[in-house]
Structure 1
Amino acid sequence: MGEFEAIRPYDDAEVSTVLARLFADDAFLGTLTRYRFPKLAGPLGWLLKPVIAHRLRREFASIDSVAALQDRIEPYVDNTIERATDGVTYSGVERLKPGTAYLFLANHRDIVMDPAFVNYAVYHAGLPTPRIAIGDNLLQKPFVSDLMRLNKSFIVHRNLAGRREKLAAFQLLSAYINHSIREDGQSIWIAQAEGRAKDGDDRTDSAILKMFHMSRKDEPFAEVIRNLHLIPVSISYEYDPCDQAKARELQIRASTGSYAKAPGEDDASIALGITGYKGRVHIAFGSEIGGASEDAKQLAQEIDQQILGGYRLFPVHYLAYAMWGKQDPELRVPAAADLFRGEELARAQAEWQKRLDACTEEQRPYLVQQYAMPVRNQYRVKAGLPL
């Protein structure tokens, strides 16, 4: 396991040491204090932090494995999900076989909650949770890195300048993913493309698929994919807590050609994504890819068919599509009122209007697009039209 030292999650033997380090970390304790006691954190933070540290040490004193840690924090995760959603449903999880390690390739809308919801579904199905790919751009603070690696996350190095460095990082990542599934028997979660699909257009980057093959070039591409037990996963949010911020970014990019993140912007997105209202959430596990595709582009199309076809469309998506300026003339998309009735539709109309009102006129088309695009994509899949 030495070759993966720089990117791997922590193992059971490291849990106690890392927890002790976290509970002595001033930045971590400060974050918890601000979250738990937002009004008192400023004037009384110096007093609250040691109290929180003492309570954490006592509560987690017996934790000596990653599985035990996940069991302990699961009620907190469930509570967070219950407070920020109107319910979570999932489908296809019954097809997952105990004892088989999978490569879960998912659409990407939220930095933390996408893998958290997949974990939620898998955990409650009584199966081991996957190891999670996370970009090093999100691990600027040591305590964040510790937290994520404790929770079975491994690091994807993104901020690399040279071609040789990037190639070496991809080679290592490929080797680790293959080793995890084929040797360790541990599932993997990774996004279908780098970065969130801020415009609502969920598409698989074929470069990700080529990466899976990089460390096993001596084997046929289709065979490598087959041995990874790749499962496309579609994660559907009724409402995106970060939709306004995404619309703003897209509008600025369109008008200026670029967008520079403000300091702490990723942290703010993570916090809003976790705590913000999401409405209903659905996680659809697709069918295992058989490995018939001989190249990455063909495989990407097969995966997209499943992810886009498995996306759960809510009333808000149809409301957005009806006002979208880029409706597809080849498609017959029903109106929201033809599919949803009564209180459900009225609630969606009120929530959608609230989000439209909160958006500037210049940014509104980008907000509409986020919710309309999944409708276009799914109906093209249903009609057998090219994506």
Structure 2
Amino acid sequence: MLDPYADIRPYNDQEVKPVLQRLSGSPQLINALIRYRYPAMPGWLLALLRPFISRKLRQHIARVEHVKDFQDMVADWVQQLVANSTDEVVVQGLDKLDHGTSYLLISNHRDIAMDPTLINYSLHQQGWPTSRIAIGDNLLRNPDIADIMRLNKSFIVKRSLTNKREKLKELQRLSAYIRESLEADQSIWIAQREGRAKDGIDKTDTAVLKMLALNGRARDESFAQTMAAMRPVPVSIQYEWDPCDAEKARELVIRKESGTYEKSSDEDTRSILRGLTGYKGRVFVDFGKPLTGEDIESAEAMAAAIDRQMNELTELLPVHQAAANLLQNRPCEGDEMKAAEELKRRTAALTEEQGKRLLTTYAVPAKGITGL
């Protein structure tokens, strides 16, 4: 039987071995692993190490037979990553959800790879099945990255299509895949908007919600009926410190001043690596309440309900008030003083406008600061 989702769905158990064999022979992946582990290694030594690393990689993945095996292997790496890049990860709200139910997890979007990684880390740590992850095809230009993501329960959102008819057809297929996944007891993670909220303001795009509801048309369902069947739950992900804060500030100011911003060819890859490995301080992952009733009557009502829960779940940290104080030339006290010193260090290499942009982003959770 023809698989209607073969080109977008995660890999299944039967595909794991062939994909891993292909990856273990990839020179690009071997080089990336060596550079990640030994960033200062000279090129000539890298060439000598390549066969050794390739052999070790094949030995390491030889015992991986199924998707769960791969995720267990990834979980060990994520555990180490979290330990090295955060002070703590605080997970709240899962105890108010039904462990045996699949949910449509709709979160804010601050980091390309770390957001879904933390969602699944939080689920895994508390004994829940991990979710399938929606990821844009713009991040999958590298076939090795695409393979790794699809091994790790990611499915592809084809954002690069320009033909309107083809795009609608693809969105309908994506919506059907998400619905069928939920009906198969597979939770889904998707961001509330396309692209990261680089200004720190989390706002749900109704276009995402309307896409999710497309599958209901073929079933003669209303928007509310479709969403009730998909069981949407807002999730707030909050980083005390953003490893990509300076880069985001530069981009926003350049875009504001020139009207456009051209990414370099490897910018997304560098952002992924910086976001994964950079220092984040405390991280908060808060699972909200399932949306029901009036909150899912329309895309507009649902977007407002998600935004409302996101705001309620946001933690006010010393860095937020410190940023607000620096913007308004007010003194800092207690823990805010240490945060203010770190903010000054982070803005030192930026222009005045870029520094103000960075501070404004951090100040958003502080009362009265949104819109500065």
TM-score strictly above 0.5: yes
CA distance in 1, matches of 2:141, 2:365: 32
Following superposition, the deviation at residue 185 of structure 1 comes to 1.0
SS at match of 1:235: strand
SS at match of 1:2: coil
User: What does residue range 239-258 of structure 1 map to in structure 2 within 5 Å?
Assistant: 239-258=241-260
CA distance in 2, matches of 1:298, 1:39: 52
Following superposition, the deviation at residue 356 of structure 1 comes to 2.3
Following superposition, the deviation at residue 291 of structure 1 comes to 4.2
SS at match of 1:144: helix
CA distance in 1, matches of 2:317, 2:331: 12
Following superposition, the deviation at residue 194 of structure 1 comes to 0.1
Per mean C-alpha deviation after superposition, the further-off stretch among 353-362 and 199-208 is 353-362
2:75 alignment partner in structure 1: 74
Distance 1:15 1:378, change over 3 A: farther
2:323 alignment partner in structure 1: 320
Following superposition, the deviation at residue 379 of structure 1 comes to 9.0
Q: Of 284, 287, 309, which aligns to 1:285?
A: 287
- 1:361 maps to 2:352: yes
Distance 1:207 1:377, change over 3 A: farther
1:347 alignment partner in structure 2: 338
- 1:373 maps to 2:339: no
Contact 2:322-2:336 at 8 Å conserved across structures: no
2:13 alignment partner in structure 1: 12
- 1:261 maps to 2:263: yes
1:233 alignment partner in structure 2: 235
Deviation >3 Å, runs of 4+: 334-337, 376-380
Q: Which amino acid aligns with 1:314?
A: L
Following superposition, the deviation at residue 61 of structure 1 comes to 1.1
Q: Which amino acid aligns with 1:157?
A: K
SS at match of 2:35: helix
Distance 1:155 1:277, change over 3 A: same
> What is the count of residue pairs matched by the alignment?
367
User: What does residue range 180-259 of structure 1 map to in structure 2 within 5 Å?
Assistant: 180-182=181-183, 184-217=184-217, 218-259=220-261
Following superposition, the deviation at residue 306 of structure 1 comes to 0.5
Following superposition, the deviation at residue 40 of structure 1 comes to 2.2
- Structure 1, unaligned stretches of length 5 or more? 326-333, 381-387
Contact 1:225-1:291 at 8 Å conserved across structures: no
Following superposition, the deviation at residue 172 of structure 1 comes to 1.1
2:274 alignment partner in structure 1: 272
Contact 2:245-2:358 at 8 Å conserved across structures: yes
Contact 1:236-1:313 at 8 Å conserved across structures: no
Distance 1:262 1:377, change over 3 A: farther
CA distance in 2, matches of 1:356, 1:253: 18
CA distance in 2, matches of 1:377, 1:191: 26
- Cα distance per residue 1:114-139 (max 9 Å; x no partner): 01111111000101100000000000
2:63 alignment partner in structure 1: 62
- 1:305 maps to 2:296: no
Q: Which amino acid aligns with 2:108?
A: N
TM (norm. structure 1) is 0.91
- Cα distance per residue 1:157-207 (max 9 Å; x no partner): 11111111221121111111101001x210000000000000001000011
- Structure 2, unaligned stretches of length 5 or more? none
CA distance in 1, matches of 2:165, 2:269: 30
1:328 alignment partner in structure 2: none
CA distance in 2, matches of 1:353, 1:214: 47
Taking only aligned residues, the RMSD between alpha carbons, in angstroms, comes to: 2.0
SS at match of 2:19: helix
TM (norm. structure 2) is 0.94
SS at match of 1:4: coil
Contact 1:311-1:378 at 8 Å conserved across structures: no
SS at match of 1:86: strand
SS at match of 1:87: strand
2:33 alignment partner in structure 1: 32
CA distance in 1, matches of 2:331, 2:6: 53
Following superposition, the deviation at residue 41 of structure 1 comes to 5.2
CA distance in 1, matches of 2:368, 2:197: 13
CA distance in 2, matches of 1:180, 1:257: 40
SS at match of 1:154: strand
CA distance in 1, matches of 2:362, 2:123: 27
Q: Which amino acid aligns with 2:61?
A: F
CA distance in 1, matches of 2:5, 2:24: 26
Q: Which amino acid aligns with 2:346?
A: R
CA distance in 2, matches of 1:54, 1:97: 44
